[in-house]
């Protein structure tokens, strides 16, 4: 109790030192670090403010622009290390050049799959806190609640122009969508690539997956068991407060590989256009480009292997590298490279279901997407801010994707708009990033969830795989991540006897904190409600969803 | 037959174009590539000769010096990639800086353990050809035959001063030793680190291994079953043709961790001294420094973890990095950095028996020392030759450690001394290295042996795990190494049906070639014969070895 009291005091002091707001409310472990480092953090905050003020002064009083490129399903080491490109027979020269200008966040932790990672970046909160730890690949009628205050909303309040292009995948109900969550404009895929690359007609022909639509229905009683993926909503577009329209499908049309290519090219083109438009505006801007590629699952008559590797994802990764090269060149041409923070990172580990055909297999860390081993949650992550963040640097501090929410808000001078009425998991890593100094990090742990269950805890280089409920924590599996990146040799000796208990206490504090800040469910609603031009087959698919939902004990 | 005839013709042409000797005799696959690329290779050879001549002209007519640093039991990615240092909590800044000045040979293949790798570098031949694929850790009475023409002997004939310091481990009989195999001077550990770090008295106390010497012999009938590792020969020193003396043990003394430290420091000091001595001489020099560390297996009261990783090998790797930093600095200070070729590489993958305590675990490739998966035979390998070989470059061609024999001989202008009366496996990779051009490589495959059995074949990025004798090759396990670095997903579909047969033909050609150039046994002899100051306990250990050897059906 004494520690917590001290922590709360220090916390108030540290935060009030640089902002006139109430302090941001964090999870319990933060206050333990604060009690040890509060005085230093207060000093660091003064230095951070000075550097940010100096940037603004040189930038005509304007906050920096922010570009977020979040790439699907990449493992650690897929970008930015030429040796690791070479041994796998592909090249990402543009991203590698970018990484030479950026700081590599070596210990960036995401959530183990797309939706929760994106939710964490957007809200600064663990996805479990608002029921968004789970992913649905079909029509589901739930999503990110409108009550969440997204990074876009925080920045918008600070005067930013905001735009989102590409994957969204945080729900199929209107309140969850980018244009309703703080973006002035959005062109976004409602769902993910399952519908668009796995269940599309070309992929079904190539036996990438079981057929979703049943072409021969003579043995079928339940016509809606296999949804028709082409009937699902594809890409929507709209402005905040304006009409929202589906833009990639006409009624009766079937989704296929060619349409997937067209959509991806359009996302790239739109990103380039948005960058040009935003760069000409008066406001600082926040542009999110969340590409759908490298995910792809069928050749479908398109050109053959583009790389020596030849994997479907790897070939598309090379294409994405070209596109990002174009984007970086466009930033140079528009004169915004120097006043724009660019974050390029993966959203979770490899989608191992499609290894090795994808061309990617887990390597340095074990496991991939959906796993809570490091292979699921450790990703390549780079941040570039010329003159402000060390070029070609490495920062080996633990950073969680939710920290980007808090840190980018701080960089933008928008942190006063981070909500004070809820628990925010993302901590402010400004000092560590601006001074390239691991001792200035404000996090030394992550609690790794799979959906709504905590599965593992990392603190420093130690990782505890949580034992099943009721089991004595003394036998929990422990890993030393420095010595054993792949978690293959558990070290359940002395560290188990000490650490099992200590880690259980971390979890207990985390759970105790939930008494005051309980997890809440996601928002529920009518799928696709509010889209002007909903196709008849899409409306029918929604009806089928509603029938199943209404079925007793659904 | 036609192809072979054509190949032989081209071969003669290509080789005669730059040397007045008979061509070097290679294994069968070489002639298949020669038949396709012979004309280009002949052109490349002219360009190589011109570059080498130009170097000599600028170097006062002298050939380049050569320094070989061969490090024990390192996996791919342990040196030279700061990101991979970072995630494992250690630093090798000096080697990383060196790698920025060097070309990384990304696909360097060694043999799967120390002895055969060293034999391949020294002889340019697969160790199986002279019965040296096997390693003995105790007194064994066999070793590298004196009839082998080592790289040192080749270079010496071309006027080089030669010196070897550190690990040797190619036999415990006199004809095998460095000072009898072409080195003017050698200070070398006769055996390997087993005796010195695993079976030493400190390690036995720490339960690193079963006790070798039995301290309580009341249940023991066979007193020689557990050899006394302290009685084995440790470090010997001598000049070519001169007396050879053991220099680290007095009779009655026990080997321990402190002596291991002292020996390693002495190897480092001697290397520095030899470098200074050789640099002052008139001749170009060939200096081999083959350290015993990073291998180490006990703290034994020495200082605690030096790195965040804390592993025993990793801590010693940091020490070795400092030492190599000193060596590189010494080269600068002596003014020989610019006219010296430096090769730094590992000799095989991690010694996984001591994972994770060693601090190293296989990561990018699967398996380690003694395995024929890539983790056993892919290593970090760098070659620096300022102004001649691309700095901070990557060469993704397959290179086998035996190629260093042929290639370094060529660089030294000594290739006419490579013997023409036997099969040489090492091919000349000069053009690929000097022009940093993968298309100029002269090897696209390796046949990976474990002791005297071929276990796997790599060609391009395809790897066949050889099926047991008698099994239909159509079911052999195939791996696409680009897509699957860890050989975890076999792709035995079409590639199996085609490649199984094609790879069996590679092996058949390799075996057919052995009809003309048959494998021969190693040299046998009396262990330690010729060492002036053999200790009484060592002589007794040799006697015990001879009794066992004389036992019927031994």
In sequence order, the β-bridge partners of residue B387 are: none
Note the pLDDT of residue A165: 98
**Cα B140 from Cα B533, distance rounded (Å):** 20
Q: In this predicted model, which residue has the larger pLDDT, B305 or B12?
A: B305
Note the pLDDT of residue B222: 83
Residue A92: φ, ψ to 5°: -130, 65
The residue of chain B nearest to residue A398, with distances taken between CA atoms, is: B87
CB contact under 8 A, A355 and B489: yes
**Parallel/antiparallel/unpaired status of strands B393-400 and B445-450:** unpaired
In sequence order, the β-bridge partners of residue B400 are: B109
How many C-beta neighbours within 10 Å does residue A223 have?
11
Size of interface A-B (CB pairs under 8 A): 127
Sign of CA dihedral A347, A348, A352, A358: positive
**Cα A179 from Cα A167, distance rounded (Å):** 13
Note the pLDDT of residue A82: 96
Instruction: Taking residues A202-229, report their average pLDDT.
Output: 76
Q: Which residues of B touch A108 (CB under 8 A)?
A: none
Residue A10's pLDDT band, with cuts at 50, 70 and 90, is: very low
Among A84, A309, A483, whose Cβ lies nearest the Cβ of B483? Answer: A309
Give chain B's mean pLDDT: 92
Among B107, B364, B484, whose Cβ lies nearest the Cβ of A356? Answer: B484
Q: Which residues of A touch B480 (CB under 8 A)?
A: 310, 356
Give B391's DSSP letter: T
**Cα A99 from Cα B441, distance rounded (Å):** 30
Q: Cα B183 to the chain's mean position, in Å? A: 16
The B-side interface with A (CB below 8 A) comprises: 76-77, 80-84, 86-90, 104, 106-107, 308-311, 314, 355-364, 394, 396, 461, 480-486, 488-489, 491
The residue of chain B nearest to residue A89, with distances taken between CA atoms, is: B482
Residue A130: φ, ψ to 5°: -125, 30
Q: Give me the numbers of helices (H) and strands (E) for chain A, helices first please.
A: 15, 16
> Among A108-112, A135-139, B126-130, which stretch is predicted with the lowest mean pLDDT?
A135-139
pLDDT digits (tens, 9 = 90+) for A277-286: 999 999 999 9
**Cα A210 from Cα A473, distance rounded (Å):** 41
Note the pLDDT of residue A164: 98
Residue B74: φ, ψ to 5°: -110, 140
Sign of CA dihedral A514, A515, A517, A520: positive
> Among A234-238, A296-300, A396-400, B143-147, which stretch is predicted with the lowest mean pLDDT?
A296-300
CB contact under 8 A, B357 and A88: no
Q: How many CA atoms lie within 13 A of A390 on its CB side?
A: 16
% chain B with pLDDT above 90: 80
Determine the residue among B363, B394, B444, B487 to mutate to test chain A binding: the one whose Cβ has the most chain A Cβ atoms within 10 Å.
B363
Please, where are the H alpha helices in A17-168?
28-58, 82-86, 93-101, 114-123, 151-157
Query: B68 Cβ partners below 8 Å, 6+ apart?
Result: B121, B286, B287, B288, B289, B290, B343, B404
Q: Reduce the DSSP state of residue B377 to 3 states and report it.
A: helix
Residue B71's pLDDT band, with cuts at 50, 70 and 90, is: very high
pLDDT digits (tens, 9 = 90+) for B331-356: 999 999 999 999 999 999 999 988 89
Residue B319 CB-density burial (10 A; 0-12 exposed, 13-18 middle, 19+ buried): buried
Q: Cα A311 to the chain's mean position, in Å? A: 24
Note the pLDDT of residue B332: 98
Our CA-based measurement puts residue B88 at a distance from the nearest CA of chain A, in whole angstroms, of 4
Q: Which residues of A touch B358 (CB under 8 A)?
A: 483
pLDDT digits (tens, 9 = 90+) for B179-227: 999 999 999 999 999 889 988 888 888 877 766 666 666 777 888 887 7
Q: Which residues of B touch A103 (CB under 8 A)?
A: none
Instruction: Taking residues A544-552, report their average pLDDT.
Output: 91
Distances (CA, A) of A99 to A76, A96, A391, A430, B83: 14, 5, 8, 19, 12
pLDDT digits (tens, 9 = 90+) for A482-493: 999 999 998 865
CB contact under 8 A, B482 and A394: no
Q: Which residues of A touch B495 (CB under 8 A)?
A: none
Note the pLDDT of residue A19: 46
Among B106, B482, B489, whose Cβ lies nearest the Cβ of A309? Answer: B482
Give A416's DSSP letter: G
Determine the residue among B87, B308, B399 to mutate to test chain A binding: the one whose Cβ has the most chain A Cβ atoms within 10 Å.
B87
Query: Tokens standing for B186?
Result: 């050698």
**Cα A488 from Cα B363, distance rounded (Å):** 10
Among B308, B309, B356, whose Cβ lies nearest the Cβ of A489? Answer: B356
Sign of CA dihedral A395, A400, A406, A412: positive
Whether the model pTM is above 0.90: yes
Sign of CA dihedral A40, A42, A43, A45: positive
Residue B136's pLDDT band, with cuts at 50, 70 and 90, is: confident
Is pLDDT above 60 for A5?
no
Residues A234 and A538: beta-carbon distance below 8 Å: no
CB contact under 8 A, B489 and A361: yes
Task: Report the phi/psi class of residue A211: left, alpha or beta, with left for phi > 0 and alpha for psi in -120 to 50.
Answer: beta
Residues B303 and B352: beta-carbon distance below 8 Å: no
CB contact under 8 A, A483 and B87: no
Determine the residue among B484, B493, B494 to mutate to test chain A binding: the one whose Cβ has the most chain A Cβ atoms within 10 Å.
B484
Give A354's DSSP letter: G
CB contact under 8 A, A87 and B76: yes
**Cα B349 from Cα A12, distance rounded (Å):** 53
The residue of chain A nearest to residue B374, with distances taken between CA atoms, is: A87
Between the two ends of chain A, the Cα-to-Cα distance in Å is: 45
Among A90, A357, A483, whose Cβ lies nearest the Cβ of B309? Answer: A483
Residue B512 CB-density burial (10 A; 0-12 exposed, 13-18 middle, 19+ buried): exposed
pLDDT digits (tens, 9 = 90+) for B512-548: 999 999 999 999 999 999 999 999 999 999 999 999 9
Q: Which residues of B touch A486 (CB under 8 A)?
A: 361-363
CB contact under 8 A, B483 and A88: yes
Residues A138 and A231: beta-carbon distance below 8 Å: no
pLDDT digits (tens, 9 = 90+) for B37-48: 999 999 999 999
């Amino acid at each position: 109790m004494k520690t917590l009291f001290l922590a709360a005091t220090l916390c108030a002091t540290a935060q009030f030192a640089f902002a006139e707001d109430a302090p941001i409310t964090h999870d319990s472990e933060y206050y333990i670090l604060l009690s040890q480092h509060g005085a230093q953090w207060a000093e660091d905050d003064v230095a951070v403010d000075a550097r940010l003020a100096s940037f603004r002064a040189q930038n005509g009083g304007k906050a920096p622009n922010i570009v977020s490129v979040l790439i699907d399903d990449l493992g650690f080491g897929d970008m930015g290390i030429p040796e690791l490109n070479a041994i796998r027979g592909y090249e990402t020269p543009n991203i590698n050049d970018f990484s030479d200008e950026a700081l590599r966040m070596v210990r960036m932790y995401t959530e183990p799959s797309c939706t929760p990672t994106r939710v964490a970046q957007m809200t600064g909160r663990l996805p479990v806190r608002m029921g968004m730890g789970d992913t649905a690949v079909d029509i589901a009628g739930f999503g990110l609640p409108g009550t969440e205050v997204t990074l876009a909303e925080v920045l918008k309040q600070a005067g930013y122009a905001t735009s989102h292009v590409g994957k969204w995948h945080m729900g199929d109900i209107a309140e969850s969508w980018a244009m309703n969550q703080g973006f002035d404009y959005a062109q976004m895929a409602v769902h993910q690539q399952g519908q668009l690359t796995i269940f599309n007609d070309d992929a079904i022909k190539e036996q990438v997956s079981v057929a979703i639509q049943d072409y021969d229905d003579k043995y079928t009683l339940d016509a809606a068991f296999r949804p028709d993926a082409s009937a699902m909503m594809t890409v929507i577009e709209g402005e905040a407060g304006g009409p929202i329209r589906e833009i990639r499908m006409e009624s009766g049309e079937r989704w296929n590989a060619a349409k997937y290519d067209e959509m991806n090219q359009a996302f790239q083109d739109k990103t380039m256009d948005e960058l040009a438009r935003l760069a000409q505006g008066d406001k600082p801007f926040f542009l999110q480009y969340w590409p759908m590629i490298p995910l792809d699952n069928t050749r479908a008559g398109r050109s053959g292997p583009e790389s020596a590797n030849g994997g479907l994802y790897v070939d598309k990764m090379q294409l994405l590298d070209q596109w990002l090269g174009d984007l970086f060149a466009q930033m140079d041409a528009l004169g915004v490279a120097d006043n724009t923070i660019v974050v390029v990172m993966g959203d979770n580990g490899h989608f191992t279901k499609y290894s090795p055909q994808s061309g990617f297999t887990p390597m340095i860390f074990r496991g991939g997407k959906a796993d809570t081993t490091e292979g699921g949650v450790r990703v390549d992550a780079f941040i570039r801010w010329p003159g402000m963040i060390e070029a070609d640097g490495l920062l080996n501090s633990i950073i969680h994707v939710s920290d980007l929410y808090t840190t980018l808000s701080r960089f933008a001078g928008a942190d006063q708009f981070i909500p004070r009425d809820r628990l925010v998991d993302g901590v402010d890593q400004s000092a560590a990033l601006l001074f390239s100094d691991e001792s200035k990090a404000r996090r030394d742990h992550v609690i790794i969830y799979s959906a709504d269950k905590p599965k593992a805890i990392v603190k420093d280089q130690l990782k505890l795989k949580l034992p099943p409920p009721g089991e004595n924590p003394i036998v929990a599996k422990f890993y030393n991540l420095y010595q054993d990146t792949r978690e293959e040799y558990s070290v359940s000796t002395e560290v188990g006897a000490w650490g099992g208990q200590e880690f259980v206490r971390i979890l207990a504090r985390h759970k105790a904190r939930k008494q005051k800040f309980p997890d809440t469910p996601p928002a529920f609603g009518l799928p696709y409600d509010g889209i002007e031009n909903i196709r008849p087959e899409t409306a029918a698919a929604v009806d089928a969803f509603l029938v199943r939902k209404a079925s007793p004990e659904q």
